[in-house]
Amino acid sequence: MNEGFEVVSVDGSATMLAKAFENGLEHGGHILRTVLADWRWLNRDVHGEFDAIICLGNSFTHLFSEHDRRKTLAEFYAMLKHDGVLVLDQRNYDAILDGDYESSHTYYYCGKAVDAGPEHVDEGLARFRYGFPDGSVYHLNMFPLRKEYTRRLMQEVGFQRVETYGDFQKSDQEDGPDTPDFFVHVAEKLYVDDEGDGQGER
């Protein structure tokens, strides 16, 4: 919003929306438009077309059925303008599933003071333990999305190009991390036909 974008913040949790609203006020005096909605039927509760949908914070991992994942991506696709983009991140579950987990804590989300790590992992469940400096411990169950699987789902719902970054670096970049903590997928809706002309011309 500080950059001049019109923003709508959507979450299924009223507590999270209240926090987002508070952050908007605190950082620039913005009145953030918040909508309590489930992504799986987003178009029912949020109307309009958007240039971008940003789904960060390893949020997509909370959907446990493939049906829900496909429906959510289809809802995101439908809400975008013809040349809109979806930006969606996820933990590097491939590394965790393949026994290669070593969080650098360089990137989001808990800071260095929180000890976060997988307690159990199989192809259907990643259960993380979060230990806080005051001794409190919390657990979170997540679906372990493999990178190629997420990319495939995005393409299957209609996204034309999906670029995936590892900890904000392109995968072919020499100084990119060997085992990133997070992947960020940038999925483009714009259709470019074989001749490079027509509706989808860039």
Ligand X SMILES: C[S@@+](CC[C@H](N)C(=O)[O-])C[C@H]1O[C@@H](n2cnc3c(N)ncnc32)[C@H](O)[C@@H]1O
The verdict on 26 binding ligand X (CB under 6 A) reads no
How many residues of this chain bind ligand X (CB under 6 A)? 12
Number of Cβ within 10 Å of residue 42's Cβ equals 19
Which one, 30 or 40, has the nearer CB to ligand X?
A: 40
Site for ligand X in 31-90 (CB under 6 A): 38-40, 56-59, 62
Which one, 58 or 92, has the nearer CB to ligand X?
A: 58
Write down the least CB distance from residue 20 to ligand X, Å: 8
Which one, 131 or 200, has the nearer CB to ligand X?
A: 131
Write down the least CB distance from residue 192 to ligand X, Å: 30
The verdict on 30 binding ligand X (CB under 6 A) reads no
Write down the least CB distance from residue 158 to ligand X, Å: 20
Question: Given the rule CB under 6 A, which of 11-19, 27-35, 120-128, 189-197 is the region that contacts ligand X?
Answer: 11-19
Write down the least CB distance from residue 63 to ligand X, Å: 6
Distance CA 197, CA 189 (A): 16
The verdict on 13 binding ligand X (CB under 6 A) reads yes
Distance CA 11, CA 15 (A): 9
Distance CA 139, CA 148 (A): 26
Residues that bind ligand X (CB under 6 A): 11-13, 16, 38-40, 56-59, 62
